[in-house]
Amino acid sequence: MTPEYYLLLSALLFSIGAVGVLVRRNAIVVFMCIELMLNSVNLSLITFARIDGSLDGQVMAFFVMVVAAAEVVVGLAIITSIFRARRSASIDDTNLLKY
């Protein structure tokens, strides 16, 4: 076994998360799938840092975590405000800008 397996696992998790974003209709679950994709990218960054033998990848993963935390706050606030206005968390219901 080589560290490459971590990268393959990361690719698999990223693909599952992408499929979840495409398939699910609940905005909160879509958001969770995005978190899953961010996390799998973190795994690949840390594995690259390990293969490279340096810490730069870990610093990037750290920044990804910070940005993800900020993104969660804003995204969940948007979801709650949309839910308050429309009484629904389904992404099919917010279509005012569609046409």
Partner 1 sequence: MTSLAQAGMVLAQQPAEDVVTTGEAVAFWILGPLAVAGALGTVFMRNAVHSALWLVVTMLTLGVFFLIQNAAFLGFTQIIVYTGAVMMLFLFVLMMAGKDSSDALVEVLRGQRLAAAVFGVGFAGLLSLALARSLTDVTAAPPLDPTTPEGGGAGGLGRLIFSDYLFPFELTAVLLIIAGLAGIVLAQRDRRDEGAKRSQREQVEARFRDGSERPTGRPGPGVFATGNSVATPALLPDGSVAEESLSELIESTPTARRVSPPGQLRTLELGEHTEHSEPDDSGDHDAGGDSEGGKA
CB of 99 to partner 1, least distance (A): 15
Does 72 participate in binding partner 1 (rule CB under 8 A)? yes
Q: How far is CA 19 from CA 34, 40, 70, 77, in A?
A: 10, 14, 24, 24
**Segment 23 to 62, residues that bind partner 1, using CB under 8 A:** 23-26, 28-29, 31-33, 35-36, 39-40, 42-43, 46-47, 49-56, 58-59, 61-62
Nearest Cα residue to 24 out of 90, 97, 96, 79: 90
CB of 75 to partner 1, least distance (A): 9
